[in-house]
Amino acid sequence: MIARTVAEIRRDVAAARTRDPAAAGVGWLEILITWPGVQALLAHRLAGALYRARVPLLPRLVAAICRSLTGIEIHPAAAIGAGLFIDHGMGVVIGETAEVGDNVTIYQGVTLGGTGFATGKRHPTVEDNVTIGSGAKLLGPIRVGHGSKIGANTVVIHDVLPNCTVVGNPGHPVRVEGRRLEGPDADWVRLPDPIADAIKGLAHRIEALEHGADPDSEDEGDGAAGGYQLPQGDVDRAVGPNPAGG
């Protein structure tokens, strides 16, 4: 039992040394005392053992104290693999049914959370060797394949294949096995939007009709606007509440 705990602590410290450039050359005691990610794992092991032993109150108390000291909240029931490294820590939340594989790296502000009030398995499963960038939100009972990278501030609500890089909101793959995605559907941001185009065309036709112009005339202007040109010069602006809200 003691030998196993010592081995786990050694591995936590080694993970900090390997994956945090700031830890290079720092002694193991200093890392143990001052690295919040390492302390949170220690606390989680204690809380998890108490939880599995069905001890009342204490597991959550340990988790709550850990949260107030490190800013890292790990539910005592969450399954955490070996070699997890949580860098900086503040604002990390790992939910009750989350599963984290071996050698995973998590930066500050990461949430492995649920999407609502669902019960049962409702938090992500993260396979081995995944890196999750700061501020990323992984929501729901999704699976993140081994070796994948989740970019900072990404919101992931669907499964991620192994060895992918996923970025953005909603999170979408930009690299698979280290290669840039090819093909017409690869550029998510600039995909054609036929519905928006149709609405724009209708708006132009209505505006043309309101101004008495022939919306089908091709004499002037471009075809998409039905030949109607928007009036130049001063335009009466609609007055109303700011759509940006307060």
Question: What x/- string results for residues 168 through 187 when contact with ligand COA is judged by CB under 6 A?
Answer: x-----xx----x-------
Q: Give the span between the Cα atoms of 116 and 122, in whole angstroms.
A: 9
94 sits near ligand COA (criterion: CB under 6 A) = no
Q: Indicate the residue among 87 and 99 with the shorter CB distance to ligand COA.
A: 87
| Cβ(16)–Cβ(85) below 8 Å | yes
Minimum CB distance to ligand COA, residue 150 (Å): 7
Q: Indicate the residue among 121 and 134 with the shorter CB distance to ligand COA.
A: 134
| Cβ(155)–Cβ(136) below 8 Å | yes
Minimum CB distance to ligand COA, residue 224 (Å): 29
Contacting ligand COA within 105-124 (CB under 6 A): 107
Question: What x/- string results for residues 124 through 163 when contact with ligand COA is judged by CB under 6 A?
Answer: -------x-xx--------------x-xxx----------
Q: Among 84, 83, 112, which Cα is nearest to 98's?
A: 112
42 sits near ligand COA (criterion: CB under 6 A) = no
| Cβ(113)–Cβ(61) below 8 Å | no
Minimum CB distance to ligand COA, residue 21 (Å): 10
Task: Give Cα separations from 172 to 40, 68, 190, 205 (angstroms).
Answer: 30, 34, 13, 36
Give the β-pairing of 155-156 and 172-176: unpaired
What three-state secondary structure class fits 165? strand
Minimum CB distance to ligand COA, residue 177 (Å): 10
Contacting ligand COA within 187-226 (CB under 6 A): none
| Nearby residues of 8 by Cβ (< 8 Å), 6 or more positions away | 41, 45, 82
Residues that bind ligand COA (CB under 6 A): 88, 107, 131, 133-134, 149, 151-153, 165, 167-168, 174-175, 180
